[in-house]
Chains A and B, each alone.
Chain A
Amino acid sequence: MSVVNNNPERRRFLSGAFMTLGLTLGLGAMGTRFMQFLMPDVTAKKSSEILLGKADELSGDGAKFFDIAGKKVALMQSGEGFTAYSRICTNLGCLVSWDNANDQFHCPCHNGIFDRNGKNISGPPPRPLDQYEVVKRGKSVYIKLDVA
Chain B
Amino acid sequence: METTETKATENKTFWQKTYDMAQEEIPDHLNRFSYCLGATPLILFVILAVTGILLTFYYIPFPGQAYNSIKTITEETYLGWFIRGVHQVTVNLMVLALLLHIIRVFITRAYRDGGGLKWLLGAGLFFTVLAFGFTGYSLVYDNVSYWGMTVVTDMIRQIPVVGEPIFLLLRGGEDITELTLLRLYDLHTKLLPLLIVLLIGAHIIAIRTLGFAKITKHQGTHPFFPGHGLKMLAMTVMLLIVIVNLAAIFPPTMGEPANPLVVASDVSPPWYFSAIYRWIIIAPREAGLFSVFAFFTLFTIYPYIDRGFSDRGANMLRVNLAIGLIVAIFFATMTIWEALV
Contact = CB atoms under 8 A, between A and B. Distances in A.
To the question of whether A and B form a pair in one complex, the answer is yes
Interface of A: 35, 38-40, 42, 65, 67, 70, 72, 91-95, 97, 107-111, 124-126
Contacts of B264: 108
Contact of A95 (B165, B175, B263, B288): B263
Contact of B267 (A40, A70, A109): A109
Given A39-B165, A93-B151, A108-B265, A124 B173 contact: no
A109 B144 CA distance: 11
A65 B260 CA distance: 13
Interface in B124-164: 147, 150-151, 153-155
B75 interface: no
Given A92-B151, A92-B154, A42 B168 contact: yes
Contact of A97 (B173, B174, B263, B284): B263
Query: Chain B binding site: helix, strand, loop or mixed by DSSP?
Result: helix
Contacts of A72: 260-261
Nearest to B268: A109
B261 A67 contact: yes
Contacts of B261: 65, 67, 72, 95
B281 A111 contact: yes
Nearest to B169: A38
A125 to B, nearest CB: 7
Interface in B238-289: 260-265, 267, 280-281, 284-286, 288
B284 A94 contact: no
A94 B146 CA distance: 10
A142 to B, nearest CB: 22
26 contacts: A38-B169, A39-B168, A40-B169, A40-B171, A42-B168, A42-B173, A42-B174, A91-B154, A92-B150, A93-B154, A94-B147, A94-B263, A95-B261, A95-B262, A95-B263, A97-B263, A107-B263, A108-B263, A108-B267, A109-B147, A109-B263, A109-B267, A110-B280, A111-B281, A124-B281, A124-B284
Given A42-B168, A93-B153, A124-B280, 16 more contacts: A35-B165, A40-B171, A40-B174, A40-B179, A42-B173, A72-B260, A91-B285, A92-B151, A92-B154, A94-B147, A94-B150, A95-B261, A95-B263, A110-B280, A124-B288, A126-B285
A107 B281 CA distance: 12
A123 B262 CA distance: 20
A108 B144 CA distance: 12
A108 B266 CA distance: 8
Nearest to B286: A126
Nearest to A65: B261
